[in-house]
Structures are given as C-alpha cells and as structure tokens.
C-alpha cells in the first residue's frame, strides 16, 4: 500500500517540486536579465564581453573539477532517507563533504593558475588577468554538492528555490547602484564575484542547517569511505564526464566565441544565451525535480516510471517548441529592449539557441531516468555523440555563418543528444519490463 501510494503521488510531487524550483528560477532569471541588461547598457560592448568572459571562465573551470556529488546523494541517499538508515546516510554525507572540499580547493587553484593562459587566448590585458585571478577566489566556497543533494533527497526544493534568487538579486542591485556612478569593469567584476560567493555560502548554510535538524552531525574532517559504497566511484566518473560534456555547448561555447570572434561577439552570444535560459534553466530544474521520483518508481512500478517520463517530456517539449516560435517573431525587439541597440543583430542566433533548448527541455526526464536505470554509461555515450556534433558544427558553420552558425551548431548538438537519450531510455530492462525485473534497492545500493 505504501509503495502504491508513493508511486501514485510521484507525478504530482514531481510537478509540485518543479513549480517550487521554477518559481525561484523565474525570479532569478528576471533578476539576472535585469543585471545583465544594466551591465550591457553601462559598458561598451567589448567591455561587457570582457566581464562576461571572466565570469564564464570561472564557472567553466569549476565545472572542470565538479564530479557532481549532489547526484551521488540522490542516487544512493534517497533509499537511506526513506528507510531511516541514518548511519549509512551519515557515512555518505561525510564522503561527499570531503569531495566538496577537494572541488572547491581544486577549482580555485586551477582558475587562478590558468588565468594567464586564458588571457592569451582571449586577448586580455594584464589588469584583466589580475581581476580574473581575484575573481577566482569566489570558488573557494563552491563546495555545494552535499548541500544541494541532501536538500533534493529530502524534498526541500523550497530552499533550493530561494537559493537560486540570491546571486541574481545581488548582481541586479549592485549593477543598478554601479550604473549611477562612473561605470568601470573592475566594479562590475567585484559585484559578480561577491554574488557568486554569497549564493554558494547560502546553499551551504541551508544544507548544514537541515542536516543538523535531522539529528546528523557531520564532522568537518569526517572521512567517509568509497569502500562502503560499491559502484560509487564508477558512478562519479561517469557523471563527471557527462558534466564535462554539458559544459561544451553551454559555458565553454561562450569562451570559444570569445577566442575565435572576439569579446564583442562573446557579449552578443551571452545576451542571447541568457534569453534562452528561459528554457535551459527549467530543463535543469525539471531534471532535479524528477530524479528522486524516477529513482523510487524504477524500484516500485515500471509502468508508472515509463508514463512519468513520457508525460514530462511531452509537456516540456511542447512548451519549448512554442517559445521557439515566439522568439522568431519578437526576438530582435526583445534583445533591443533589454540590452540596447547593438544587440538585435543576435536575433537569429537567439532563435537557434531557443530551438536547441527546446530539445533540452523535452528531454529533461531522460538523463535522470537513465541514471535510475543504471545506464549512466550509455547516457554518457549519447552526450559524447551530441558534443561531437556540436564541435564539428561549430568549426564548420561558424566560419560560414558567424554567430548564427554557432547557434545552428548548438541546436544540432542538442537534437542529436535528445535522439540518443530517447533510444537509450526506451529500451526495456533485460528479461522483461516492470519493477519485477528491476534490481531491488538493496541489491543496487551499498550495505
């Protein structure tokens, strides 16, 4: 009875959690667009592009060392939370906390060390390289995987929604204040760096507070052991590679545009990319919201597992295609109204980016479904294929179509990735279908 009730409530819970996340993200998107628009109007296009590149550089370097401990907590921790297995959850959190510390220290060191190299590739002067090294200090607080994963596993999506608005609110308020003074690159970089550190610290604080309220006491120097969780190192390595692949068409693409087409083109690309986050951010949020319930349903009711995937993908994909059509009609007006008269030239780029984002949104349930089905390796292969399509398209289309070609490459990579993930997830479990053939949680998770 308990399992049937949980399975029946899964779709309702998924969309309830998504609404919480989306409400926070909607506020965050609007605040972030306001901050970026204020920045774009306060600085010259090349200066705006430079601020964008420094910010994206820091986030990209963090992505290079982020092994996604939050996914580990959801994948292993949900059964522990529901089964009241406090000791196992305690050991898992101590392990992921140690991973978080390594991520934060590694990201900070790597970002500061590689700043001169980035400066040569992106044609920065010495002062910009120095600002970039200082900006990298915000990454010292970027060990947020344990906090995010625990809040997801315990259905505290309301707190995750609050955290999403913290950084954008600081950026918007700071950008407004700075715009009334003499606009300077270093001022805006300081505001962006402070906002990044603050949103990291807010999430860490919320995570620790909820862990303590649950009666868990996680030592700062607690060890945790990979040996206690068979299969976890492989899961981390696979999800890490997939995270790297997701960096390419998202953040790394901005750096590639800056290196090949210059800071002004990077600024145009960033403006269009931020508008397209109306779809890409909900895709990420929907994946986060649906992952815990897909993990539960995989062990309880395979029919509802499949129906939930189809329902989420159809609803989300329809919304994405509708917004693509809207962008074709009002994209140039939107860019000009938000960022200024220099930006409507990126309207076609915006339409391609939103078209690609529609596939991301329509496939929001596919990656977490693959994780729940223990098909992380195949999901990784599908993303590798999509990344190769993007890279091939970038260097061939960018030379012929400029920025519009970059958008075409992003859309092509997203479409191929979506097709590959559909093929991977739609295959039935070996030996039949349904929860009867799916491994029970005890056999899949560590003892």
284's CB contacts (< 8 A; 6+ apart) are 364
| Least confident segment among 99-108, 193-202, 223-232, 375-384 | 223-232
Question: What is the model's pLDDT at position 223?
Answer: 60
3-state helix, strand, coil in the chain (%, to 5): 85, 0, 15
The pLDDT-based confidence of 362 (bands split at 50, 70, 90) is confident
Radius of gyration of the chain (CA): 22
Q: What pLDDT digit, counting tens, does each position of 175-221 carry?
A: 999 988 887 899 999 999 999 999 999 999 999 898 888 877 766 55
The pLDDT-based confidence of 429 (bands split at 50, 70, 90) is low
Q: Which of 31-45, 61-75, 109-123, 334-348 has the highest mean pLDDT?
A: 109-123
pTM over 0.85: no
Average confidence (pLDDT) over 2-29: 60
As a whole number of angstroms, the distance between CA 382 and CA 422 comes to: 10
Q: Judge whether residue 341 has pLDDT over 70.
A: yes
The dihedral over CA atoms of 5, 11, 13, 19, expressed in degrees to the nearest 10, equals -170
Q: Is 104 exposed, middle or buried (0-12, 13-18, 19+ CB in 10 A)?
A: buried
Strand, helix or coil at 85? coil
Asked if residue 155 lies in contact with residue 82, where contact means CB atoms within 8 angstroms, the answer is no
Question: What is the model's pLDDT at position 212?
Answer: 87
Q: What pLDDT digit, counting tens, does each position of 276-317 carry?
A: 876 666 666 666 677 777 877 777 777 888 888 888 888 878
- Report CA 24 to chain centroid distance, whole Å: 15
Helices (H), 43-68: 45-65
Average confidence (pLDDT) over 86-110: 90
CA angle 261, 168, 145 (to 5 degrees): 90
Domain limits, the chain: 2-444
391's CB contacts (< 8 A; 6+ apart) are 248, 409
Q: Judge whether residue 442 has pLDDT over 50.
A: no
> What is the Cβ-side half-sphere exposure of residue 89, based on CA atoms within 13 angstroms?
21
As a whole number of angstroms, the distance between CA 216 and CA 75 comes to: 19
Between 86 and 99, the higher pLDDT residue: 99
- The torsion region of residue 401 among left (phi > 0), alpha (psi -120 to 50) and beta comes to alpha
Work out the percent of the chain whose per-residue pLDDT is above 90.
38
The whole-chain average pLDDT of the chain stands at 83
H or E element in which residue 154 lies:
none
The pLDDT-based confidence of 447 (bands split at 50, 70, 90) is very low
Question: What is the model's pLDDT at position 329?
Answer: 86
Average confidence (pLDDT) over 415-435: 75
As a whole number of angstroms, the distance between CA 351 and CA 168 comes to: 24
79's CB contacts (< 8 A; 6+ apart) are 85, 441, 445
Q: What pLDDT digit, counting tens, does each position of 151-163 carry?
A: 988 888 788 888 8
Strand, helix or coil at 79? helix
As a whole number of angstroms, the distance between CA 310 and CA 300 comes to: 17
Q: Judge whether residue 24 has pLDDT over 80.
A: no
């Amino acid at each position: 009875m308990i399992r049937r009730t949980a399975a029946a409530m899964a779709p309702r819970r998924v969309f309830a959690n998504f609404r919480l996340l989306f409400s926070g993200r909607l506020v965050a998107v609007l605040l972030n667009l306001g901050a970026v628009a204020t920045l774009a109007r306060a600085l010259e296009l090349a200066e705006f592009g430079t601020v964008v590149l420094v910010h994206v550089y820091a986030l990209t370097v963090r992505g290079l060392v982020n092994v996604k401990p939050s996914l580990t907590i959801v994948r292993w921790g949900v059964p522990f939370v529901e089964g009241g297995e406090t000791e196992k959850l305690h050991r898992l959190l101590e392990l992921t906390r140690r991973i978080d510390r390594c991520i934060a220290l590694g990201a900070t060191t790597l970002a500061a060390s590689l700043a001169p190299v980035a400066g040569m590739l992106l044609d920065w002067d010495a002062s910009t390289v120095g600002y970039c090294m200082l900006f990298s200090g915000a990454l010292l607080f970027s060990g947020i995987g344990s906090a995010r994963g625990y809040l997801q596993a315990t259905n505290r999506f309301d707190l995750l929604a609050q955290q999403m608005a913290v950084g954008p609110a600081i950026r918007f308020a700071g950008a407004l204040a700075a715009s009334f003074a003499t606009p300077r690159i270093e001022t805006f970089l300081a505001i962006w760096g402070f906002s990044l550190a603050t949103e990291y610290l807010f999430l860490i604080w919320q995570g620790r507070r909820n862990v303590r309220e649950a009666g868990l006491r996680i030592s700062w120097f607690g060890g945790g052991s990979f040996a206690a969780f068979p299969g976890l190192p492989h899961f981390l390595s696979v999800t890490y590679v997939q995270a790297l692949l997701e960096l390419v068409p998202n953040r790394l693409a901005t750096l590639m545009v800056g290196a090949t087409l210059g800071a002004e083109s990077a600024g145009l690309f960033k403006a269009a990319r931020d508008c397209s986050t109306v779809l890409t951010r909900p895709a990420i949020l929907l994946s986060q919201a649906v992952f815990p319930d897909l993990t539960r349903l995989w062990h309880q009711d395979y029919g509802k597992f499949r129906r939930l995937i189809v329902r989420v993908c159809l609803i989300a994909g329809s919304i994405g295609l509708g917004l693509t059509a809207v962008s074709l009609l009002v994209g140039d007006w939107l860019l000009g109204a938000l960022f200024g008269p220099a930006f409507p030239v990126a309207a076609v780029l915006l339409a391609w980016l939103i078209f690609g984002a529609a596939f991301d949104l329509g496939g929001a349930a596919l990656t977490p479904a693959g994780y729940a089905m223990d098909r992380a390796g195949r999901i990784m292969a599908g993303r590798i294929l999509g990344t190769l399509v993007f890279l091939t398209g970038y260097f061939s289309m960018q030379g012929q179509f400029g920025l519009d070609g970059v958008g075409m490459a992003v859309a092509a990579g997203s479409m191929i990735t979506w097709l590959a993930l559909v093929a991977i997830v739609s295959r039935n479990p070996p030996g039949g279908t349904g929860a009867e053939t799916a491994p029970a949680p005890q056999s899949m998770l560590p003892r």
